[in-house]
Structure formats: structure tokens, C-alpha cells
Amino acid sequence: MSCPRHRMEGHESHLSEFAARSHDPQRAARREYVQEPDDFRTEFQRDYTRIIHSRPFRRLRNKTQVFIHPENDHICTRLEHSLHVASVARTIGRALELNLDLIEAIAVGHDVGHAPFGHKGEEELDKLGTDHGLTYRHETQSLRVVDLIESPYRERHPGLNLTFAVRDGIVMHCGEDYAQPALCADIGRSTLRNGSDGRTCFPATLEGCVVRWADRVAYLGRDFEDAVVAGIVRREELPAEVRRSLGTENRQFIAALVRDLVRNTQGSCVAVSPEVANAVKRFQEFSTDKIYRSPIVTKCFAQVQVSLQAMFEHLLKTVAERRSQWIAEDPPASTDSQEPKVMRVLWEFVRRDLPSDYEGSDAQLVLDFIGGMTDSFFIQSFRELFLPHSTA
């Protein structure tokens, strides 16, 4: 019986000439730490499996997409958004004959570094890091998570040891810049670029470009649907050019954008027509003004700012006092029943989760820890640390 992986790698010969190959160990499938091939999965399939079984991926189910800590079970979370991106990107990739395994791995991993409370949480963590010479951007943090923080194989190497193409797609996924109707893959590149270059540079694979576009497609339509449910906007409020080119419902948005994207993609450039590009730009402007800046969405922003600052300062002080002690002791005296649960989790993060060669400063460690919190765990931890408890 032939090796199933060999057969799947052979099928990749039928893909587009611009598609990445999972048996390209010098570039797309290159790993920082050498590992033996799997008999049943290609390299990109292995990456997909590692990501969806990771704890940061599972925590996305309780992280904000737009609406902070929603009680309505039908409002989109960060986990659902990642799955939506994977679905849209897979549809585009299949039509363009690209590597679907690579697309899925990038899509499910692209937001694993998102902070609690969505982009507002990310913004506040970035501000808190500034005084310590640090930044917090979710695309670079997502790469940091898969490269360092999530280390289930720490006896062999830090991080998940993903392939270059997946890591590149993650750090270059940021799709908020609507001035770019075309994304042209930097196919000759074999080294990672800084995620902050994403607005002027492009992913190293066409699959990465597809995921970046799919991110736009997935969140615009879903955020609009959630805003309709929340009573923030009505469908007839959409600008005329958006209704004409894209429709008024999420399924229409996705269908129109996918169709136009496939029709206008040429060679290694994923693109949409000028008409659709303008409609997407107007849709983004409408969403920013009517949804993302609406009182319903922003009503908790001041509380997010104050609570994140308080949590950061408290944990920074705690880490400065106890980090060396935590590393040396087992079990930790600081995790007795009288202390908040967050202290035990923080100790486990320092002692058991981080790789032994972690060299981040105390401030970096706290940013990494808070960035990994879900909305619900942050709220629970804040309540334990800062609010009074009954003593009778």
C-alpha cells in the first residue's frame, strides 16, 4: 500500500501553477525545526490540525468579534469569524485551483493572537505596551502565539513549529486596508516580513492573499447582520452602490464578492473589479460610521480601557515580585485557596506554558498573558481582584 501522503502530494500537481506545494521543504513547507513527515497528512494538513487542537484557537469562542461579551448566542464570536473566513477562502481557493489545506490552516490560525474585547482590547494593550517599548498588534501577536507562546512540544521546540507559508499567511493577513483592490502574492519571498508591513506588502503565497481577502468578505457581511439583529442599522440604510453591487444580506455579499474575485483574479494577483472595490470601500465606511462607532458597540469602551489598565498594572507588579519565585518553587505558595484563580493560571502560564528559553520582559509576559484571556475569564478575574466579596 502506497503512503497516503505521497498520493495527496501527487494530486497537488493538478493545482494552479501559482499554488503552493506542501512538498516544498525549501520554501512553503519549510519549518524552523526539522521533523519527520507524516504518513497520512501533508505538511499543511498537519499545521491545520495543530492549530485547531491548540488552546488559543479554542479560546476564540469566548472572544469578542464586534459586540463585547454578547449574551445573544447568535452574535458572532472570534471563533465563528475564523471559521467563516476559512469557508469563504476555501470556496475562492477551490475555484482558483489553489492549495485548500494551506488556505484552511492560515484561516483558522489568523486571529489566535487577538486580545479580549476585540479591536478595542487590542488598541488598549498596544497603548499599555508603549511605555515599555512594546507593541500589540493582533497579526504579529498571532505569529508570536504559534511561534512561541503555545508550546505543547516544549521538550523538542518552542511553539507549534508551523510551515513558513502558514506563518507568513498569519502575520500578513491584516485586511483592513481597503485601498488595495488587488493583492499580488510575493511568490519569490522565502523570509517573513514584519506584520506591520502588511498594508504595503503582500503574503508570499496566493493562498495567503485569498485568506486576506476572505477576511474582508467574512467580517463585513457578518458584522452587518449582527448589527441588524441588534437594531443598530436597517438593511435599507446601506449606500445605494453597496446594495446595487453586493446586495443587502450576508449570503448576497459573499456570493457577489466571491464571484467577482474569481472573475478578476489573474496570475498571482487576487483582485476585484473597480465597481466592486468601490462598493466594498463604501461598505467599510458605512460600517465604521454606523456600526463600529455606534453607541451600542462603544458603550463599554471606557470600562474596557480602565479595567485593562488596572489589570495590566496589577499583574505587572505581581510578576515583578514573584516571577523568579514561581520558576523555582513547586507547588507555588501563591496559589493557595485564598488567592484569586487568575493567580494560579498566571503561575501555570509562567511555569508550565512558556518555553524554557522565554526571554520576554515582565511587561511582555503580562501582555502575552492578558492577550490570551477570553472576555469571560478577564471579567471573572477582574471581579476577583478588584471587587469586594461577601465574608459572611
* Mean pLDDT across the chain: 90
- Residue-wise pLDDT tens digits, 2-49: 688 767 766 777 888 999 998 888 899 999 998 888 788 999 999 999
Q: Residue 53, Cβ neighbours under 10 Å: how many?
A: 11
The one-letter code for the residue type at 385 is: L
Is the alpha carbon torsion for 91, 243, 219, 185 positive or negative?
positive
- Residue-wise pLDDT tens digits, 241-264: 999 999 999 999 999 999 999 999
Domain boundaries, the chain: 40-112+150-298
The one-letter code for the residue type at 96 is: L
Burial class (CB within 10 angstroms; exposed 0-12, middle 13-18, buried 19+) of 2 = exposed
The one-letter code for the residue type at 273 is: S
Alpha helices in the chain (DSSP H): 4-11, 43-52, 55-59, 78-95, 100-109, 118-130, 138-144, 164-171, 206-229, 240-246, 250-264, 274-287, 295-298, 301-328, 341-348, 362-371, 375-386
pLDDT at 143 over 60: yes
pLDDT at 155 over 70: yes
- Residue-wise pLDDT tens digits, 185-200: 999 888 888 655 555 6
pLDDT band at 122 (very low <50, low <70, confident <90, very high): very high
**Phi then psi for 317, rounded to 5 degrees?**
-65, -40
pLDDT at 270 over 90: yes
Rounded CA-CA distance 19/205 in Å is 7
pTM of structure: 0.94
pLDDT band at 179 (very low <50, low <70, confident <90, very high): low
Where do we find the cell 512553503? 28
Rounded CA-CA distance 163/33 in Å is 10
Say which CATH topology domain 40-112+150-298 has: Hypothetical protein af1432 (1.10.3210)
pLDDT at 361: 94
Rounded CA-CA distance 18/335 in Å is 53
pLDDT band at 392 (very low <50, low <70, confident <90, very high): low
Rounded CA-CA distance 275/88 in Å is 21
**Phi then psi for 383, rounded to 5 degrees?**
-60, -45
pLDDT at 330 over 90: no
Q: Residue 266, Cβ neighbours under 10 Å: how many?
A: 11
Rounded CA-CA distance 170/145 in Å is 11
